[in-house]
């Protein structure tokens, strides 16, 4: 029995020593794990720094894209500015003057041009021009000799305008002109009359360019009667190519101005009364016509 107990005691001591060794191994493994965790923290810090660098790179890329957008926008504005830019003439002044002031002036000029383009697209540019013309006419009228006289007739005031050189008279129609349309460029004008004629005028040189449609002459081959062919309305397209003419016979005729005189393109019918007004849509070849038949086509 004693030998058996000794064997049991030896086995117990061996087990206890083995458990101690296992504990020491576990502690060492834990210590190793702790060291590994510190390395992981370093790696995490490195990864964090790397991700921060990546964010910086993304920001730099965004800034590069913004700079590219600004550059393209400036190129577009310079293209819009076109012949209005005075960079070549003001080069010497820019070297001596303040560069920022010059840039502000350029931006103001470009902004005004963009505003004009926007108003033209919206069809409101004519109002701005009309306000300027009205203010100019008011200032010119104040210096006329009989403008302040309350009893001055319209004929007397008209004579003052002519004598002062503010009004010039063009003659070419045999009967009363009924309508006038000015091209958007301001160089040409079209007029219609009761004598069926449609004339194209050169405003800059103050002369008649050519006849779009001749005067009515009594003949057995005349297509229109004396009153039926009266011109009541005219309109010009924005590109300066087409002229629309509305007549008392309820027709709308289209002429190609660039092709020369008496170049009839087409005749539109559909109204049942005299065509009293015409208008082209802004920056388009769409034409609107109004008539005494209370229809708009």
Encode pLDDT of 101-155 as tens digits.
666 666 677 778 888 788 777 778 778 888 888 888 888 877 777 665 655 577 7
pLDDT in tens, 39-81: 555 555 555 555 555 566 666 677 787 788 777 777 777 776 6
Of 100 and 90, the structure prediction assigns the larger pLDDT to: 100
Q: How confident is the model at residue 253 (pLDDT cuts 50, 70, 90)?
A: very high
pLDDT at 223 over 80: no
**Residue bearing tokens 């005004």:** 112
Q: Which CA distances in Å does 242 have to 178, 259, 266?
A: 19, 10, 11
Does the residue 245 lie in any domain? yes
256 vs 100, more confident: 256
Say whether both 185 and 287 belong to one domain. Answer: yes
Residue 33 has pLDDT above 50, yes or no: no
**pLDDT score of 140:** 81
Q: Which residue has the higher pLDDT, 167 or 23?
A: 167
Q: What is the CATH number of the domain that holds 186?
A: 2.130.10.10
Whole-number Å distance between alpha carbons of 173 and 214: 10
Contact of 196 with 230, CB cutoff 8 Å: yes
Alpha carbons 140 and 168: distance in angstroms, whole number:
15
* Final residue before a domain boundary, out of 32, 56, 79: 79
**Which among 79, 104, 135 is the end of a domain?**
79
- Most confident of the ranges 61-65, 139-143, 259-263, 279-283: 279-283
Contact residues for 152 (Cβ-Cβ < 8 A; gap 6+): 146
Contact between residue 187 and residue 202 where contact means Cβ atoms under 8 Å apart: yes
So what's the pLDDT on residue 81? Answer: 64
Tokens representing residue 177 in the block:
């002109």
> Looking at residue 189, what is its pLDDT?
92
Q: Quick one: what percent of the chain has pLDDT higher than 90? A: 23
Q: What is the mean pLDDT of the chain?
A: 75
Helix ranges, the chain (H): 2-81, 91-96, 99-122, 125-141, 154-163
Least confident of 60-69, 158-167, 201-210: 60-69
Confidence (pLDDT) at 89 = 46
Domain presence at residue 112: no
Q: Examine the fold and report which residue of 79, 110, 141 is the final residue of a domain before the chain moves on.
A: 79
Closest CA to 244 of 203, 292, 297: 297
- pLDDT range class, residue 99, cuts 50, 70, 90: low
Calculate the alpha carbon distances from 186 to 139, 181, 204 in Å: 22, 10, 8
Higher pLDDT, 86 or 249: 249
Res 35 pLDDT > 60: no
- The pLDDT value recorded for residue 74 is 75
Domain limits for position 192: 172-291
Residue 287 domain-assigned (yes or no): yes
pTM for the whole structure: 0.53
**Lookup: tokens for 18:** 């083995």
Structure-token pair, residue 174: 């045999």
In a domain, 113, yes or no: no
Residue 244 pLDDT = 95
Phi, psi of 189 (to 5 degrees): -145, 150
pLDDT at 221 over 90: no
Q: Report yes or no on 93 lying in a domain.
A: no
170 has pLDDT over 60: yes
* Residue 237: half-sphere exposure toward Cβ, Cα within 13 Å: 16
Q: What are phi and psi of 120, to 5 degrees?
A: -65, -40
Is residue 244 one of the residues assigned to a domain?
Answer: yes
Tokens of 137: 């006419």
Residue 139 resides in a domain: no
Asked if pLDDT for residue 200 goes beyond 60, the answer is yes
First to last CA, the chain: 130
103 in any annotated domain: no
Number of domains in the chain: 2
- Supply the pLDDT for residue 124: 80
Return the ∠ at Cα 296 (arms to 295 and 297), rounded to 5°.
Answer: 115
């Amino acid at each position: 029995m004693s030998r058996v107990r000794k064997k049991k005691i030896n086995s117990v001591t061996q087990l206890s020593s083995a458990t101690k060794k296992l504990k020491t191994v576990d502690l060492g493994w834990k210590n190793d794990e702790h060291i590994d965790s510190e390395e992981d923290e370093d790696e995490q810090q490195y990864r964090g720094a790397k991700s921060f660098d990546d964010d910086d790179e993304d920001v730099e890329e965004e800034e590069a894209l913004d700079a590219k957008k600004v550059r393209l926008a400036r190129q577009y504005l310079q293209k819009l500015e076109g012949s209005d830019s005075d960079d070549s003439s003001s080069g010497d002044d820019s070297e001596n003057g303040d560069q920022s002031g010059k840039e502000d002036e350029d931006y103001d000029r470009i902004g005004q041009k963009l505003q004009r383009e926007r108003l033209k697209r919206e069809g409101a540019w004519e109002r701005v021009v009309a306000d300027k013309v009205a203010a100019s006419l008011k200032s010119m009228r104040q210096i006329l000799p009989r403008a302040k006289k309350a009893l001055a007739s319209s004929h007397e005031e008209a004579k003052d305008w002519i004598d002062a050189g503010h009004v010039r008279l063009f003659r070419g129609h045999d009967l009363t002109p009924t309508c006038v349309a000015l091209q958007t460029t301001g160089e040409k004008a079209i007029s219609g009359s009761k004598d069926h004629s449609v004339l194209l005028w050169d405003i800059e040189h103050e002369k008649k360019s050519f006849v779009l449609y001749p005067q009515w002459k009594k003949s057995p081959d005349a297509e229109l009667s004396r009153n039926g062919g009266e011109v009541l309305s005219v309109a010009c397209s924005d590109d300066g190519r087409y002229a629309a003419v509305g007549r008392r016979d309820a027709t709308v005729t289209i002429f190609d101005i660039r092709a020369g005189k008496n170049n009839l393109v087409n005749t539109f019918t559909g109204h049942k009364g005299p065509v009293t007004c015409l208008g082209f849509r802004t920056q388009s070849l769409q034409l609107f016509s109004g008539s005494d038949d209370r229809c708009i086509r």
